Amino acid sequence: MKITKDSYVTCEYELYTGEGKEDIVEKATPEAPLALIIGAGFLLEAFEKQLMGLEAGDKFDFTLKPEEAYGEVSDAYILELEKDLFKNEEGEFHSDVVFEGNAVPMLDNQGNQLVGIVEKITDDTVTMDFNHPLAGQTLHFIGSVLEARPATEEDRQRLTAQFSGHAGGCCDGDDHEGGCSCCSGCH
């Protein structure tokens, strides 16, 4: 079956940043493949478009520019926050979690979970970068389609729970090298 909108697809791939095989940042294996429903809105639209028309067994090798993936790095997503936000009830700073280079989960004003990277800590502020970790990067995918078939209601329910974090978080708890699936909307 050729992949079309509403197809259930599993694939294995390696994701590299840059124009070639420079840095591998994520890997989905046949034992722990990426599962998706084309057009469900959980993955990068440009990624899904590259899979359209392929069949089980077909290989793929394509590159997505930053504007097709997570955009360029935006200064609007780099925020200087009051250090008091990172203190416990006793007024102690959470230095075990909040340190330069660490990813810290936070909630925005609407209760949406975001992950920010701690860029800088001063006496009064913590600078956080909320850009997607792959913003500004060219993404190079090399892989193959393992399965392609019409999606079932069970597939939709399972993947909706998986991508919304109700089934063990991103990747359904699978141990993907890059952590949260780069293709997903988790950011």
Which pLDDT score is estimated for 163?
Answer: 81
Using the CB atoms, write b or e for 8-25: b if 16+ within 10 Å: bbbbbbbbbbeeeeeeeb
Average pLDDT per 10 consecutive residues for the chain, totaling 187 residues:
97 86 88 96 94 98 96 96 94 94 92 93 97 94 98 94 58 36 41
Cβ neighbors of 164 (< 8 A, separation 6 or more) are none
Which pLDDT score is estimated for 8?
Answer: 98
Structure tokens at 61: 């090798």
pTM, two decimals, is 0.77
Sign of CA dihedral 47, 53, 57, 62: negative
Write the burial class of residue 40 (CB in 10 Å: 0-12 exposed, 13-18 middle, 19+ buried). middle
Hey, is 45 helix, strand or coil? helix
CB atoms within 10 A of CB 167: 16
Query: What is the set of domains in the chain, with CATH numbers?
Result: 7-70+136-173 (3.10.50.40), 75-129 (2.40.10.330)
| Ramachandran bin of 63, using left for φ above 0, alpha for ψ from -120 to 50, beta for the remaining angles | beta
